[in-house]
Amino acid sequence: MDIIVTEGVKIPNAVLVSGLTNTEVDNEVFEFLKQYGSISRIIKLPTTDPVTQAIVEFEYGSAVKDLETTRLPYRRPCVTKPEVIHHVQSLASVYTSDVGTSATETYLSGLKDLAKMSGMDFGDILRKELARISESVSTETPVDTSETPVETEPPLTQSDIQATAPSFVSVPTEVSQTFSRPQTGTEVRDLLFPV
């Protein structure tokens, strides 16, 4: 699915719809998906088959999360033409398995070539690489994705504020007070220190 890269698809925000007929019947599944969130764009996948696929990218990933928890993968018969069945699945589930399989096959093929060229046993090379991968995985620091509340300090009192009042420092005159944003060319001036 090179189109995902070339089109810059936000994978967590997208679903893959299969079973499209390229007729007005397909609008039913798109209207159904709009119930979950605003659709950013629909990208039809190039094919020569009469039944096609499309990537539906939502504005926000929350739409896909809602679909995943309640519906996906989803098989939806068309109301107007029951013989047409649309299949909806998260793009992440399809894409990561495709890319993962391809990467694994390429990696194993490279190891087999190395074994042939070096005269070493493929099993020995594979075991060494698996040990390296295992070591790499065990040394990674786990990322905590749980949402724990952030501890806040009690509000400052008037005496705290007076005790920690800042001392004023003079600003060097050689520091430029004019900035520009390269992407817009808009000049921004510091109102406290006019040039």
CATH number at residue 38: 3.30.70.330
Cα–Cα distances in Å, from 30 out to 64, 83, 91? 14, 17, 15
Report the chain's C-alpha Rg in angstroms. Answer: 28
Question: What was the pLDDT predicted at 180?
Answer: 46
Assessment of whether the complete model's pTM goes beyond 0.75:
no
The number of C-alpha atoms within 13 Å of 66 and in the hemisphere containing its C-beta is 11
The total number of structural domains in the chain stands at 2
For residue 124, what are the domain limits?
95-129
Tell whether 17 and 87 lie within a shared domain: yes
Tell whether 73 and 124 lie within a shared domain: no
Question: What was the pLDDT predicted at 16?
Answer: 94
Stretches in the chain below the pLDDT threshold 70: 1, 96-102, 140-195
Tell whether 110 and 82 lie within a shared domain: no
Can you say how many angstroms the Cα of residue 52 is from the centroid of all Cα atoms in its chain? 24
Question: What was the pLDDT predicted at 160?
Answer: 52
Q: Which of 129, 147, 175 is the last residue of a domain?
A: 129
Tell whether 43 and 64 lie within a shared domain: yes
Asked if the structure places residue 57 within a domain, the reply is: yes
Q: Which of 42, 70, 91 is the last residue of a domain?
A: 91
Question: What was the pLDDT predicted at 157?
Answer: 56
